[in-house]
Amino acid sequence: MFLWEGVSEFVAVAEAESFTAAAKQLGISTAQVSRQISALENRLNTKLFYRTTRKVSLTEEGTIYYQHCRRLMDGLEEAERAISDRRDTPQGSLKLTAPVTYGEQYIMPLVVDFMQQYPEVDVTMILTNQTVDLVEGGYDLAIRLGKLSSSTMMAKRLASRTQYVCASSVYLEKYGVPHSLSELRHHNCLVGNYDHWRFQEAGKERSVKVDGKLRCASGHALRDAALKGLGLVQLPDYYISDDLAKGDLVTVLDTFREPEEGIWALYPHNRHLSPKVRLLVDFLADSLS
C-alpha cells in the first residue's frame, strides 16, 4: 500500500493544475495534498511539479509519472465500476450545471423524469449563464450550448440548435426587410449579452457588430420586444420556434444563417463516467434528439 500513497493526490493536482482545486475534489485539505506530494517526490527522489504563485505544471519526469499513474487509476476506477455496475439502480448525488433558460425549459424537466425513474439519485442543479469550473466546483456534468472553447473537458453532443434573425411583420413592413449583412446598421437590433451577431458568408464565419435601442441579457425579454415590433433579434430556436410556426415572427437573412450548433454534455477529462452520470447523459441524449 505504501506505493499507492500520494498517487491519487498527484493525479488530482496534475489534472486540476492546482493544489487547492485538487483538495476540493478529493475532499481533503490543501495542506494534506501538499504533504502527500512532497512525500511522493521525496520517495521518488525527483521533482514532479513546477510551482509558482499562479500556476502548477508538471515537470518532464512528472509528465512521465502521470501517464503511468493515470493508467493505474483508470484500472482501479474500472474495477470499482465493475462492482457498482452490478447494482440495478444508480444511486448517490449528482451535481449539474446548465444555462438558465435552456436548463429551465429542457434540461430540468428531463432531470426530474430521470429522478422519478431512479429515485435513489439526488440532484443539485445550478442554473447559471456563467461558465463555471467543473473540477473546482465539484460538478459531475455541465450542459453547454454552441461552440465549445478549448477545454480539458470531454464532451458528448446531445442535440443541436439554430440561431435565427427575425422580427415581427409589423416591424418589417415599417422599416423594410434586410437582404444583406451591411443593412443591419440601418436597423434597430435588440442586443443581448454580445453586441456581435454571427453569420456565415461565402462559406466563412462572419461576425457583425450590431446596435439598437434595447440591450438586455434575457432572451425572453428580447423575444417579447421583437414580438411587439421593436426591432430585429437573433435568438436560438428554442426561444422562438412556436412564434415562427405561428407567423408571429418572420426570419430574415436566411442565406447568411450559420449551420446548426451543438448542445453538449461536458465532464472532466480523463475520467470515466460513473454509472449514474453515464445513464443521465444517455437519457438526455435520447430525449433531446
Q: Which long-range contacts (CB under 8 A, 24 or more apart) does 83-89 make?
A: 84/274, 84/275, 85/275, 87/275, 89/118, 89/120
- pLDDT at 188 (0 to 100): 96
Q: What is the b/e burial string over 247-280, where b = at least 16 CB atoms within 10 angstroms of the residue's CB?
A: eebeebbeebbbeebbbbbbbbeebebbbbbbbb
- pLDDT at 236 (0 to 100): 93
- pLDDT at 71 (0 to 100): 87
Query: If DSSP codes are grouped into helix, strand and coil, which group holds residue 120?
Result: coil
- pLDDT at 50 (0 to 100): 92
Per-residue pLDDT tens over the stretch 183-220: 999 999 999 988 999 999 988 999 999 999 999 988 99
Burial class, 147, CB count within 10 angstroms (exposed 0-12 / middle 13-18 / buried 19+) = exposed
Q: What is the b/e burial string over 83-100, where b = at least 16 CB atoms within 10 angstroms of the residue's CB?
A: eeeeeeebeeebbbbbbe
> Which range is least confidently modeled, 3-7, 27-31, 250-254?
3-7
Per-residue pLDDT tens over the stretch 234-255: 999 989 999 999 999 999 999 9
- Taking a C-beta distance cutoff of 8 angstroms, is the pair 97, 135 a contact? no
Residue 86: is its pLDDT beyond 70?
no
Residue 82: is its pLDDT beyond 80?
no
User: Could you tell me the pTM of the whole model?
Assistant: 0.61
CA dihedral (198, 103, 247, 188) in degrees, to 10, reads: -40
- Taking a C-beta distance cutoff of 8 angstroms, is the pair 239, 163 a contact? no
Average pLDDT, the chain: 89
CA distance 211 to 154: 36
Smallest CA-to-CA distance from 288 within 161, 158, 163, 99 is with: 158
- pLDDT at 272 (0 to 100): 54
Smallest CA-to-CA distance from 137 within 229, 21, 52, 5 is with: 21
Burial class, 184, CB count within 10 angstroms (exposed 0-12 / middle 13-18 / buried 19+) = buried
Smallest CA-to-CA distance from 41 within 89, 12, 9 is with: 9
Please report, for residues 184, 238, 273, the alpha-carbon distance to residue 246 in angstroms, rounded to integers and kept in the order given: 25, 14, 42
CA distance 152 to 122: 26
DSSP β-bridge partners for residue 232 = 189
- pLDDT at 87 (0 to 100): 57
**What percent of the chain has pLDDT above 70?**
93
Which range has the top average pLDDT, 52-56, 66-70, 112-116?
112-116
Smallest CA-to-CA distance from 252 within 226, 279, 283, 284 is with: 226
Greater confidence (224 vs 152) lies with 224
Mean pLDDT of 272-283: 82
Mean pLDDT of 73-92: 72
The residue to which cell 442554473 is assigned: 127
**72 pLDDT band (50/70/90 cuts)?**
confident
